[in-house]
Amino acid sequence: MTHPPGTPVAVHANLTRRCLTVRPKGGRVEQHRSGYITLSDAEFKCSIPGHNRIVRTESREVIARVHGTVANWVPVDADIFADNPDYIPVSYNPIKHPDRPYFFTPDGASVGKVSTAYVITSDTIDTKARTRAYIRRVQ
């Protein structure tokens, strides 16, 4: 990864290329197929008009991203967060959940700004884009 710590980025799951897309402000877009990025001062954002358009037309377009500042990038081959009770998966799927124009946890709670977000990509992840986002469980 060429984006050093401190770089503001927006990341999203790329359904077409089945990977993680990282877009820095004013920089070069990168796509990754293995590893995870830790974002500080993160915000899960979704375009409401875009969500409504996808629900209406069932088309695909990038309207949901996680924005934050790169804290680090760690190369990994598998979802190291999946079975760890300290991390909660965060999802967004306008086709399966047309009533949720936001990112959400498994219990349906919306997710917005968080201090830290983890976005991981690996061929072992069972989502269409092979990507998943997590937040730390509050203790």
Q: What's this model's pTM, rounded to 2 decimal places?
A: 0.94
Mean pLDDT (whole number) for 119-136: 96
Q: What is the pLDDT of residues 77-119, one digit of tens each?
A: 999 999 999 999 999 999 999 999 999 999 999 999 999 999 9
Which pLDDT tens digit goes with each residue over 10-66? 999 999 999 999 999 888 899 999 999 999 999 999 999 999 999 999 898 999 999
The pLDDT of residue 44: 98
Q: How confident is the model at residue 132 (pLDDT cuts 50, 70, 90)?
A: very high
Helix%, strand%, coil% for the chain, nearest 5: 5, 45, 45
Confidence of residue 139 (pLDDT cuts 50, 70, 90): very low
What pLDDT is stored for residue 1 in this prediction? 60
Half-sphere exposure of 33 (CA within 13 A, CB side): 4
- List the domain boundaries for the chain: 8-136
Residue pair 80/37 in contact (Cβ under 8 Å)? The answer is no
